[in-house]
Structure formats: C-alpha cells, structure tokens
Amino acid sequence: LADRDGKIWMDGELVDWRDAKIHVLTHTLHYGCGAFEGVRAYKTDKGTAIFRLEEHTERLFNSAKILRMPMPFSKEQLNEAQKQVVRENQLESCYLRPLVWIGSEKLGVSPKGNTIHAMVAAWAWGAYLGEEGLKRGIRVKTSSYTRHHVNITMTQAKAVSNYSNSILANMEATEDGYDEALLLDASGFVSEGAGENVFVVKGGVIYTPDLSAGALNGITRNTILHIAKDLGIEVVQKRITRDEVYIAEEAFFTGTAAEVTPIRELDRVQIGIGSRGPITEKIQSAFFDIVNGRNPKYAHWLTPV
Ligand code: PMP
C-alpha cells in the first residue's frame, strides 16, 4: 500500500504517496494513543460523493477529545482534506482513512511536549468481507477475546489502541476458517464484530446491542436505524446474548468497510435459512440506494468531492 503513485494529505499539505512518512520514535507507534476514521465515497449520478462526511469528521474530533489530543486542524480543514484526496487521486468510489497521531518530539507515557498530527489517504477498496459475503452471508465465530470494558479503554473513541483487541479476534477467527469474529462484552453479552456493529432479526423486529456493551457508535449502525424506521421495522437496542443470535431468523454486520454483510452462521450454528434473509436484503438494498445517491431523502448525507 505504501509503494504507489498518488497524493496523501499530511499536516495541511498534499505530499507524494511514497513520501508520506513518519519517524520510528513517533509516540503513537509506541504507546498506541491515536484516533482514526474509516469513510467511504461512492460513485453517484451526480459524481463521486463522500457518505456522511460531517458525521465521520465529528466522530474523529470526539475521539481526539476523549483521548485528550488537541486537534491541530478545524473540522472544515479535515472535511476539505478528505474531498481533496478523493479528487487528487481521481477516485470514483473509495475508502478514506483520516488518522490523528502524536508526534516524535519525546517518548515516555506522558504525551506532553509532543505535537499532534493528521493525515488523510484514500484508495479503491471493494467489499471488505467479499462480494460473495454481501450476497450469501459470512461465517462468524464467537471470539475467545472479550471486547473492551467501557472503563478499560474508551469505547466511544475510534482509538488506534482499541484495535489490537480487534486484530486478535479477527486473526483467531480467520485462522480457524471463519470470515470474522463476534466479540462479547465483559459480562458475556454480544458487543460487536472486530470492525462491525451487529444486528439480529427475530419475529420481524431488529435488535442491536446498546452502546453500553462497548460497541462503537457506528455511523452505518445509525444509518440502519433510519432505514428501519423508513421501512416501518421496529428496532430495539438492548442486551443480547450469544444464544439469541443462534436462534435469530437473520443476522448482519454493518460498518463503513463491511457495509451491510449478512451473517449466515455463528459457531457452526446456521442462522435462519443459512443465507441472506429477506429483512437483511431489504435493508442492504435501501443502504446501497442511499450511498449511491438513489434516495433523495438522504441526499444531504452525500458530499460531492
Ligand atoms: N465497530 C468497530 C470496532 C469498527 O471498527 C467499526 C468500523 N468503523 C464499526 C463498529 C462500524 O462503524 P461505522 O459504521 O461508523 O464504520
């Protein structure tokens, strides 16, 4: 990924892709205090547009606030930077990665005396859990790793350090032949996927864990709440047990990268019909209509680049 043509926005300037480098003594690299976002831009009839840009930037600033990192740029600058990298790299649909990190002036756990930095890169990235996964659903394993307790790390921050837990869970699951991991919170209730929020469908009602289970407040999750309302489907946010997923009629993951991915199996237990269920399909199709600019009601969620 580092060796390619293109431009990356770094601390207010567009730099050549291969020159977007930092020092090995960068504080964030050693202690893991940093914040990032995952954003997508989609091709629409009116050109390429970034989906829910404002909300992603807002969450990035909230993450930085939670992590006590004073942002060196304004939201407007970060929004503009995101539009700029999509344009400059001539991307039609892509993934964007803004990141905020602590500099390399000094080490030691205290970050005081260090500068704060920001970057935004963008590149083409297809279906995170595979095209096949979007259509037929994926196979998921309950992780042996517990998701973060809300007072061990800050779960409402999209913090760099939160992801070692995700990496371990994802590696364990994929090395065992599954597509993704489902993590439980410290009390044993369903929290989220390694990089996705989770939903289950039972008796025509959609359930998703409330955020006290340590799940990230996903922007796709929020989009699903809007879609369900439009479709007249009730959504309940509550504590969910692992066996409620086994006996659900449908289940799906959501995320900027994962979009809306059906889950067809958990721990080798088939969920519902064992492929994408009818409510998941409706939600998924409404989601793709919105992100691709085919639903005028949500045109304000699309920022042209
Ligand atoms: N949970 C985790 C741990 C994630 O990494 C992500 C991806 N950002 C999500 C949930 C989904 O969030 P969003 O829909 O905002 O991408």
Positions marked catalytic: 158
Measured between alpha carbons, how far is 121 from 14 in angstroms, rounded to an integer? 10
The pLDDT tens digits of the residues spanning 121-130 come to 999 999 999 9
- Indicate if 131-291 has the same CATH topology as 7-123: no
d(CA 19, CA 37): 21
Whole-angstrom Cα distance, residue 225 to residue 220?
9
Question: For residue 202, what is the enclosing H or E element?
Answer: strand 197-202
Ligand 1 center–CA 156 separation, angstroms? 10
What is the Cα–Cα distance from 247 to 83, expressed in whole angstroms? 43
Q: Is the CB of 256 under 6 A from ligand 1?
A: yes
The string of pLDDT tens digits covering residues 78-102 is: 999 999 999 999 999 999 999 999 9
- The CB-side HSE value for 130 (13 A sphere, CA atoms) comes to 12
Q: Would you list the domain boundaries of the chain?
A: 7-123, 131-291
Listed residue (28, 36, 34) closest to 109, CA to CA: 28
157 Cβ inside 6 Å of ligand 1: no
Name which residue sits closest to atom 9 of ligand 1, judged by CA.
196
257 CA closest ligand 1 atom index: 16
Domain 7-123 has CATH 3.30.930.10: no
Query: Among candidates 93, 88, 78, 77, which has minimal Cα distance to 37?
Result: 78
Q: Which of 14, 167, 149, 16 is nearest to 6 (CA)?
A: 16
Which mutation among 37, 96, 154, 196 tests ligand 1's pocket best, with the greatest number of atoms within 8 A of CB?
196
* Domain 131-291: which CATH number of 3.90.226.10, 3.40.50.1370, 3.40.50.720, 3.20.10.10: 3.20.10.10
**Mean pLDDT across 224-228:** 98
pTM of the model: 0.98
pLDDT band at 260 (very low <50, low <70, confident <90, very high): very high
| ipTM entry | 0.99
Shortest-distance atom of ligand 1 to CA 219: 15
Closest atom, ligand 1, to C-alpha of 197:
10
Q: What is the pLDDT at residue 73?
A: 98
pLDDT digits (tens, 9 = 90+) for 33-71: 999 999 999 999 999 999 999 999 999 999 999 999 999
CA distance 229 to 220: 14
Phi, psi at 149, each rounded to 5°: -75, 145
Cβ of 221 below 6 Å from ligand 1: yes
Asked whether 38 lines ligand 1 (CB < 6 A), one says yes
Q: Which ligand 1 atom is at minimum distance from the Cα of 166?
A: 3
208 lines ligand 1 (CB under 6 A): no
Q: How confident is the model at residue 293 (pLDDT cuts 50, 70, 90)?
A: very high
CA 25, CA 29: separation in Å to the nearest integer? 7
